[in-house]
Amino acid sequence: MSEKLANKISLIIFVIIEALIIFDIVNKTVNEDVVIFSKRSPILFPFLIAVIIGGSLLVYFVRLFLNRKSVTKDLDSHISRESVLLVVGNLAALLLYAFLLPKLHFMATTILYMFLVMVFINDTKDRVGKKFFKAILISVILVPVIYYVFANVFNVVFP
């Protein structure tokens, strides 16, 4: 797979996600009279995500326009098979996450997902046991902290 094709696919995915988030926000504000900028608004966090994705897309398009020559000279570069396998493995873990989330709820499922991703994406030369220990330790500590911040600071409702 060429890098140009991979960039186009990821760009299309981000544009679709951005469009869906904006559609959902507009639908809730118009049809359900939900206010975006209130402390308990269910769409405040999706609005922030839409702003971040939209800003990232804007920066991408500006850089693409300004660096047209440097983008076109790298068209022949290819993505390695290992990189494709890492992406496929991450997507498989993400599908497993989506399948297990309703059954195991946020905390357990996110710890499992984070552990899997950290073990399989980590390409260091560490021993397998050391990779597992680091992944478990970081997952078990970081997920509750993230949960606390998003649940209590941002008032995000978790499944």
Which residue range forms the structural domain that includes residue 22?
A: 1-78
Q: Which residue bears the tokens 């639908």? A: 27
Same domain, 140 and 89: yes
What confidence tens digit (pLDDT) does each residue in 28-79 have?
888 888 888 877 777 887 888 889 988 988 888 888 778 765 544 554 456 6
Place of tokens 């991979």: 6
Q: Are residues 24 and 62 in the same domain?
A: yes
Look up the pTM and report it. 0.59
**Are residues 48 and 66 both part of a single domain?**
yes
Helix orientation angle between 81-121 and 128-148, rounded to the nearest 10 degrees: 70
Q: Tell me how many domains the chain contains.
A: 2
Q: 3-class SS at 155? A: coil
